[in-house]
Chains A and B, each alone.
Chain A
Amino acid sequence: MKPHNAKEVNGMYQIVAKKALNPTVTQMEIEAPLVARKARPGQFIILRVDEEGERIPLTVAGTDPEAGTVKIIFQIVGATTALLNHKEQGESIQDFAGPLGVATHTEGIKKVCIVGGGVGCAIAMPVAQEFHRLGAEVTSIIGFRSKDLLILEDEFRACSDRLVVMTDDGSYGRHGNVTVPLKEMLEAGETFDQIITIGPLVMMKFVTLAAKPFGVPVIASMNPIMIDGTGMCGGCRITLVQDGQRVTKFACVDGPDFNAYEIDFDEAMSRGRMYADYERHAYEETCNLFKNA
């Protein structure tokens, strides 16, 4: 490896491509060669949009090590994602650090079921692609509220031996939530070496409950509030219940993937709402700022 100056190599974190996947979900490719070379499916990055920005974690949706770019997909849910979405191709963002977290465990898994919900499908996609690349049999179940919010269907079709698309309102694919086809498969006697679920906490909780009677291992990818993301602040802590003992784990260094049967989902949901009022206010302020601009 040649000596380098990371300022040149790791660079300005320029947005080299930007695409709206649906009205509230955007895909960007960011120039970050050091991250692109290292990131594995399941890992995440931390970014700041500008000098005064907050640090937010986003899961890596893909990499191009040759081009030195990292793909991120984000839903516009708050002030920072609104600011990020306001940046255009050719512009740069302030900070982009990673890859963080432990990559999704793939070893020895021959038959996998990926269950993704909403923007969580963006995180699930590289995981499905990785299993496909490794030769595993991939079943993907992806769910959205409605047809308008559907993302990444083609990408999932390309890497899945079987794909089931669900919408809550029945406007596309099958009507219902993701647990419906999962239960059908398991009840029909189908087995998986691993179920991996990525999406809203409540969805992951019910996927876990659906799989439990069948004894299939379930991994959930957690996305708690984080600040540094490097194992310093402890804000991302979640509670696992192991042999009746409550154990504190940190999603940034121990995760983000955890054995779903051990996760205290209700606690994680409660903690995720800690700043709900503040975030709503900040989001409205930011939206108003753009409206007036």
Chain B
Amino acid sequence: MAIIPKKHEMPTQAPEARAHNFSEVAMGYPMEIAVEEAKRCLNCKNRPCVAGCPVNIDIPGFIGCVKEGDFEGAYQVITKSSSLPAVCGRVCPQETQCEMKCTLGIKFEPVGIGRLERFVADWHNENASEKPAAPKANGHRVAIVGSGPSGLTCAGDLAKKGYKVTVYEALHTAGGVLVYGIPEFRLPKAIVAKEVDTLKALGVDVEPNVIIGKTLTVDELFDMGFEAVFIGSGAGLPNFMNIPGEACKGVYSANEFLTRSNLMKAYRDDPRTPIMKGGKVAVVGGGNVAMDAARTALRLGAEHVYIVYRRSMEELPARREEVEHAIEEGIDFRLLNNPVEILGYNNPDDPRDPKNGFVTGMRCIRMELGEPDARGRRRPVPIPGSEFELAVDTVIMAIGTSPNPLIKNTTEGLEVNSHGGIIVNEDGLTSRKDVYAGGDAVTGAATVISAMGAGKIAAQAIDKALKRR
């Protein structure tokens, strides 16, 4: 049988329609297409895709089940390695992981592994009614700090081994960045809630409104009888550029803008939590968070949305599919541009003018790529005299975060690096006995799947350490 050279397309909402709603952009494979796509897998001997997956899902194994129409079997294969399949199928950068390694991809397009994972997880959520049974308790208790991807993964893996796990979440809802950061149109919140419910069925306790480092300290968790603690507290405070005008009204961090829209549901009509909607919006940055902020602004009714990024499309770090979707939706990419000042309204005759202090524009400078830096990325260099103004009403800074200091400040002996990231060894163990960490709290802003990988490694190490006691 001839090999189909291209991945089967996944149906999506038309760009002109989805730019004005918060429903999911990609709609998932129908069953027949999923089976056809699964048949593209060569089932090759070296299975390079498995090594490309940060949590080492048995990819040919689950795809084999899909080929046979055994979708529940496929789900069981995936959940051996991943606690959040419906999430990963949607937000993983497969093009730089499993799909990049795919043997088929040497000559043709790789197998649509992410799309198949999503199909399998969605099929299970829709069709399987059985809740997983809580495994036999082994009597050990582990506390997890933060309910984002690393924490949920660590919790799930330990719960499956019989540990009594409590997850402490600072916010009012479980999910971390999956609920406050990633927008509804890319990852519906009902899916996150379902994954959390699955963990609860495994016996995991989730305690919202508990800020570790404030409400309880890490040391108190040990006093309470937990034998190990995993810190997955996330990325932390947003970075700003430290350019003039960043305190103007209408300047947001991406964290704030997305939290208002996602967690606090400001995208709904008549929300309780306000957000600036409409007008012209500039998002500064080129990562997934920048794409999410830009596309959220568009859906909130912006008349024009710019992405302002200081390097070129080649260096733009966002997931390819999100960039393509953003371009289709009409996001205006201003590449090799860098802001130097945010301009605010100022009526010199009337200091009480209510428009005073609101953003009116952003002054930018054009950049060119110079010599490669230590990481091999070509360094952007400003072109003298190339400054220009962009008229905008809202500016969203999506240029990364710095680790949250709350846990470091209240946990004696917990060592952090010069960026504030928690220092861990290859097992995720910190400088404190029985305290593990992973995800953005260790690495700084990274991906959902790398955080999950770290949660998984820590779970294995915790299991190894506690089993001996």
Inter-chain contact A253/B356, CB cutoff 8 Å: no
Given contacts A7-B207, A274-B249, contact A95 B172 (CB under 8 A): yes
**Minimum C-beta distance from A9 to chain B (A):** 10
Q: Does B205 contact A (CB under 8 A)?
A: yes
Inter-chain contact B272/A227, CB cutoff 8 Å: no
Binary CB contact string for chain A from 94 to 138 against chain B (1 if under 8 A, 0 otherwise) = 111111100000000000000000000000000000000000000
Most chain-A Cβ atoms within 10 A of its Cβ — which of B171, B207, B215, B263? B215
Bound-state CA distance A52–B172 (Å) is 11
Inter-chain contact B215/A97, CB cutoff 8 Å: yes
A-B contact pairs, 22 of them (CB 8 A): A4-B224, A6-B210, A34-B215, A53-B272, A54-B273, A79-B272, A94-B172, A95-B172, A95-B208, A97-B208, A98-B211, A98-B214, A100-B214, A233-B259, A234-B253, A234-B255, A235-B253, A237-B240, A253-B404, A264-B247, A267-B357, A279-B274
Q: Does A1 contact B (CB under 8 A)?
A: yes
Inter-chain contact B259/A282, CB cutoff 8 Å: no
Q: Does A89 contact B (CB under 8 A)?
A: no
Binary CB contact string for chain B from 232 to 256 against chain A (1 if under 8 A, 0 otherwise) = 0010111010100011011011011
Inter-chain contact B180/A232, CB cutoff 8 Å: yes
Inter-chain contact A10/B274, CB cutoff 8 Å: no
Inter-chain contact B205/A35, CB cutoff 8 Å: no
Cβ-closest chain A residue relative to B176: A232
Given contacts A10-B207, A95-B172, contact A228 B214 (CB under 8 A): no
**Minimum C-beta distance from A231 to chain B (A):** 4
Inter-chain contact A80/B272, CB cutoff 8 Å: yes
- Residues of B near A279 (CB, < 8 A) are 274
- Residues of A near B170 (CB, < 8 A) are 97, 228, 230
Inter-chain contact A230/B171, CB cutoff 8 Å: yes
- Residues of A near B236 (CB, < 8 A) are 231-232
Determine which of B141, B238, B249, B256 lies in contact with A270 in the assembled complex, contact meaning CB atoms within 8 Å: B249
Q: Does A213 contact B (CB under 8 A)?
A: no
Inter-chain contact B237/A232, CB cutoff 8 Å: yes
Bound-state CA distance A214–B463 (Å) is 62
Inter-chain contact B259/A232, CB cutoff 8 Å: yes
Bound-state CA distance A55–B236 (Å) is 18
Cβ-closest chain A residue relative to B409: A253
- Residues of A near B273 (CB, < 8 A) are 54-55, 227
Q: Does B134 contact A (CB under 8 A)?
A: no
Bound-state CA distance A245–B220 (Å) is 39
Binary CB contact string for chain B from 129 to 170 against chain A (1 if under 8 A, 0 otherwise) = 000000000000100000000000000000000000000101
Inter-chain contact A233/B224, CB cutoff 8 Å: no
The 6 A-B residue pairs with the shortest CB-CB distance in the complex, in nearest-first order: A270-B357, A234-B253, A97-B209, A234-B238, A233-B256, A6-B207
Q: Does A3 contact B (CB under 8 A)?
A: yes
Given contacts A231-B406, A232-B234, A253-B237, contact A1 B209 (CB under 8 A): no
**Minimum C-beta distance from B138 to chain A (A):** 16
Q: Does A175 contact B (CB under 8 A)?
A: no
- Residues of B near A246 (CB, < 8 A) are 242
Bound-state CA distance A98–B210 (Å) is 7
**Minimum C-beta distance from B170 to chain A (A):** 5
Chain A interface category by residue count: 35 or more
Inter-chain contact A52/B255, CB cutoff 8 Å: no
Given contacts A97-B172, A232-B404, contact A278 B238 (CB under 8 A): no
Bound-state CA distance A235–B273 (Å) is 13
Q: Does B373 contact A (CB under 8 A)?
A: no
Q: Which of A38-53 contact B (CB under 8 A)?
A: 38, 48, 52-53
Inter-chain contact B237/A97, CB cutoff 8 Å: no
Determine which of B214, B240, B264 lies in contact with A227 in the assembled complex, contact meaning CB atoms within 8 Å: B264
Binary CB contact string for chain A from 1 to 41 against chain B (1 if under 8 A, 0 otherwise) = 11111110010000000000000000000000011001000
Inter-chain contact A3/B237, CB cutoff 8 Å: no
Chain B residues close to A by CB (< 8 Å):
141, 168, 170-172, 180, 205, 207-211, 214-216, 220, 223-225, 234, 236-238, 240, 242, 246-247, 249-250, 252-253, 255-256, 259-260, 263-265, 272-274, 354, 356-357, 404-406
Inter-chain contact B259/A228, CB cutoff 8 Å: yes
Bound-state CA distance A239–B243 (Å) is 12
Inter-chain contact A3/B224, CB cutoff 8 Å: yes
Q: Does A276 contact B (CB under 8 A)?
A: yes
Given contacts A1-B224, A97-B211, contact A227 B357 (CB under 8 A): no
**Minimum C-beta distance from B265 to chain A (A):** 7
Given contacts A54-B272, A95-B209, A237-B247, contact A230 B404 (CB under 8 A): yes
Bound-state CA distance A264–B211 (Å) is 29
- Residues of A near B250 (CB, < 8 A) are 274
Cβ-closest chain A residue relative to B235: A232
Given contacts A233-B253, A248-B246, contact A2 B224 (CB under 8 A): yes
Inter-chain contact A235/B211, CB cutoff 8 Å: no
Bound-state CA distance A100–B256 (Å) is 18
Inter-chain contact A52/B404, CB cutoff 8 Å: no
Inter-chain contact B210/A97, CB cutoff 8 Å: yes
Inter-chain contact B260/A227, CB cutoff 8 Å: yes
Bound-state CA distance A211–B73 (Å) is 73
Cβ-closest chain A residue relative to B358: A274
Most chain-A Cβ atoms within 10 A of its Cβ — which of B171, B272, B273, B405? B272
Most chain-B Cβ atoms within 10 A of its Cβ — which of A53, A98, A227? A227
Inter-chain contact B210/A10, CB cutoff 8 Å: yes
Bound-state CA distance A79–B271 (Å) is 11
Determine which of A38, A79, A282 lies in contact with B215 in the assembled complex, contact meaning CB atoms within 8 Å: A38
